[in-house]
Amino acid sequence: MKDISKILIANRGEIAVRIARACHETGITSVAVFSEADRSAKHVRYADEAYEIGPAPSVESYLVIDRIIETALKAGCQAIHPGYGFLAENPALPAACVAMGLIFIGPDADSMLLLGNKTEARKVMEKAGIPIITGAMEPLKSESEVLAAASETGYPVLLKAAAGGGGKGVRVVHSEDELLSAFRRAEAEALSAFGNPDIFLEKYLIDPRHVEMQILADNYGNVIHLNERECSVQRRYQKLIEESPCCMLDSAMRGRMGEAAIAAVKASGYTNAGTVEFLVDSSGNFFFLEVNTRLQVEHPVTEMITGIDLVKEQIRIASGEKLRFNQEDIGINGAAIECRISAEDPETFLPSVGYIRELVEPSGPGVRIESGISADYDIPVYYDPLLSKVITWGRDRQEAIARMLRALDEYKIKGVKTTIPFHRKILVDKGFVEGNYNTGIVARIEHHRTDNFLEIAAIAATIVAMNDEKVDFVSDMKQDDRWKLSGRMYGGIRSI
């Protein structure tokens, strides 16, 4: 058992606050790091200690391993928690920790390296008897290899970066005449994003469900799963809404997927908290997708239905404790949903940066907020647009959905556009409400608006306009011009 009484949190935003809260509750001293842009950010204020580690761009601060290790040592930390994103899946961080005598709260560098390589991971899983999607087992090195692999697999096929993740270097190809140009573009993208141009190929499943299993593995070979999460509400491979349990799983299928996930973890020698992602086709067949070797953004839905604080368990495992639970101890209590609230236009998903002028967070029965923002906060342009997550729990899925709608109605973030209106549309969608949806759901959601409250809205606008006429407009002139221009620009921007 190693002593962990002081932890450096190598992250920012809501996840850094989440980890600091777990530290607060267990008497562990939390140490934040921050870039020049983040001096007044919530995670800096929340932690017990905080150290600046460089300029605003994350390549000069949150991604600089040496600065983070040096800060951890200087502050007298025993351990580093990477959160998600940034360095969380970079094997160089656990390697550097080991070299400097620090505990990395996560898996070791070897299993992270193995699972980070998608083709290597596929081979390990196939060997362990876990179903994988038909396709190439090795990176495709030439055009003839690509053509052969695609016609053997059958169209449509998906080109994927071997070193990849997050939708970069991914192309759907429907027929042979698109294949080679798509391959070349994917290679270029993979090289630029991951420094590695390796591309492989899988059968493209049309509108599958994305279902993943949360696992916990200690350093003594004990591995359990904490049930599944359904994450099919996605846009460009980015999850937007997650829930647990998944309505399509019965306990037999949950058992099979859980066993597959545990086998995947054991086969790769993985420890700590991780997630095994699967795609599930319309017949209920599931296929290994990848292992996320870290805490997930959506971990709270699992916490809500199991009552287990995953961050605290991560710390316990890293300190050398044995798992406190057997598989039989893990139940499912009710249902939980998470909505990711981003500073984005709810229709175009274009980023919306700005100053949070007013903030009212929802609460009451069954509502949990994980937030990285506060009132009077200027959102930096340098980082991810995720502002916060709303998680609701209900005795059943219907209650969880009703509470989410209530929570979103109560949530007021003024100053920037957020994805709250988008989430409301999904939550009242018939397919979603019935649990009958897949990764195609976002594409078919319509952004229509009702005119139910048009009159009251018009009255409110008029009253505010009347009042505004009394104030001096000079300071607003620039904003006004800007508005006109961005009005003209409408439709002239697309996220790529």
Partner 1 sequence: MAYEVYDGEHQLRVEASRLEVRPHDELFEVEIDGEKKIVSISRISPAHLSILLDGKSYNVEVERFGKKYQVTTRGEVYEFSVTDEREVVTTEKPQAGGRLVVTAPMPGLVVEIMCSDGDQVEAGQGVLVLEAMKMQNEITAPASGIITGISIEQGASVNSGDGLFVIEG
Chain residues 273-332 in contact with its own copies, contact rule CB under 8 A = 300, 303, 307-309
Q: Which stretch binds its own copies (CB under 8 A): 234-242, 261-269, 378-386, 404-412?
A: 404-412
Q: Which stretch binds its own copies (CB under 8 A): 90-98, 260-268, 355-363, 460-468?
A: 355-363
Q: Which is nearer to partner 1, 237 or 483 (CB)?
A: 483
- Asked whether the beta carbons of 429 and 406 are under 8 A apart, the reply is no
| Binder of residue 370, out of partner 1, its own copies, none (CB less than 5 to 8 A by kind) | its own copies
d(CA 436, CA 116): 32
Per-residue b or e along 243-272, where b marks 16 or more CB atoms closer than 10 Å to that residue's CB = bbbbebbeeebbeebbebbbbbbebbebbb
Please, which of residues 13-72 interact with partner 1 by CB under 8 A?
A: 31-32, 36-40, 44-51
Q: Please, what is the minimum distance in Å from the beta carbon of residue 334 to its own copies?
A: 6
Residue 367 lies near its own copies (rule: CB under 8 A)? yes
Q: 274 pairs with which residues across the strands?
A: 215
List, by residue number, the catalytic residues: 294
Q: Quote the tokens at residue 222.
A: 């004990």
Q: Which is nearer to partner 1, 323 or 413 (CB)?
A: 413
Q: Which of 120, 374, 378, 433 lies at the binding interface for its own copies (CB under 8 A)?
A: 374
Q: Which is nearer to partner 1, 310 or 337 (CB)?
A: 337
d(CA 201, CA 187): 12
| Binder of residue 26, out of partner 1, its own copies, none (CB less than 5 to 8 A by kind) | its own copies
One character per residue 408-447, x = contact with its own copies (rule: CB under 8 A):
-x--------------------------------------
Closest CA to 68 of 79, 88, 81, 53: 53
- Asked whether the beta carbons of 341 and 389 are under 8 A apart, the reply is yes
What contacts 41, CB < 8 A, 6 or more positions away? 12, 13, 34, 372, 377, 380
Please, which of residues 358-397 interact with partner 1 by CB under 8 A?
A: 358, 374-376, 381-385
Q: Please, what is the minimum distance in Å from the beta carbon of residue 233 to partner 1?
A: 18
DSSP, collapsed to helix, strand or coil, labels residue 65 as helix
Total number of residues that touch its own copies (CB under 8 A) = 34
CA atoms within 13 A on the CB side of 28: 27
DSSP string covering 232-288, please? Answer: EEEETTEEEEEEES-TT--HHHHHHHHHHHHHHHHHTT--EEEEEEEEE-TTS-EEE
Q: Quote the tokens at residue 98.
A: 């080991």
Query: Residue 290 belongs to what H/E stretch?
Result: strand 286-292
Q: Which stretch binds its own copies (CB under 8 A): 15-23, 134-142, 263-271, 469-477?
A: 15-23
Q: Quote the tokens at residue 48.
A: 């017990």
d(CA 386, CA 91): 25
Q: Which is nearer to partner 1, 137 or 457 (CB)?
A: 457
Q: Which stretch binds partner 1 (CB under 8 A): 111-119, 271-279, 403-411, 432-440?
A: 403-411
DSSP, collapsed to helix, strand or coil, labels residue 305 as helix
| Binder of residue 444, out of its own copies, partner 1, none (CB less than 5 to 8 A by kind) | none
| Binder of residue 352, out of partner 1, its own copies, none (CB less than 5 to 8 A by kind) | partner 1
Query: Residue 124 belongs to what H/E stretch?
Result: helix 118-127
Q: Which of 409, 435, 436, 444 lies at the binding interface for partner 1 (CB under 8 A)?
A: 409
> Peptide bond preceding 107: is omega within 30 degrees of 0, i.e. cis?
no
Q: Which of 174, 395, 414, 449 lies at the binding interface for its own copies (CB under 8 A)?
A: 395
d(CA 232, CA 277): 11
Question: φ, ψ for residue 324 (rounded to 5)?
Answer: -85, -5
DSSP string covering 126-140, please? Answer: HHTT--B-SB-SS--
| Binder of residue 452, out of its own copies, partner 1, none (CB less than 5 to 8 A by kind) | partner 1
Q: Which stretch binds its own copies (CB under 8 A): 113-121, 259-267, 362-370, 433-441?
A: 362-370
Q: Please, what is the minimum distance in Å from the beta carbon of residue 344 to partner 1?
A: 8
Please, which of residues 416-475 interact with partner 1 by CB under 8 A?
A: 421, 424, 449-466, 468-469
Q: Which stretch binds partner 1 (CB under 8 A): 155-163, 287-295, 345-353, 361-369?
A: 345-353
| Binder of residue 487, out of its own copies, partner 1, none (CB less than 5 to 8 A by kind) | partner 1
Total number of residues that touch partner 1 (CB under 8 A) = 79
DSSP, collapsed to helix, strand or coil, labels residue 104 as strand
| Binder of residue 260, out of partner 1, its own copies, none (CB less than 5 to 8 A by kind) | none
Residue carrying the six token digits 């890293």: 318
| Binding residues vs its own copies (CB under 8 A) | 17-18, 21-22, 24-26, 300, 303, 307-309, 333-334, 360-361, 363-371, 374-375, 395, 399, 402-403, 405-406, 409
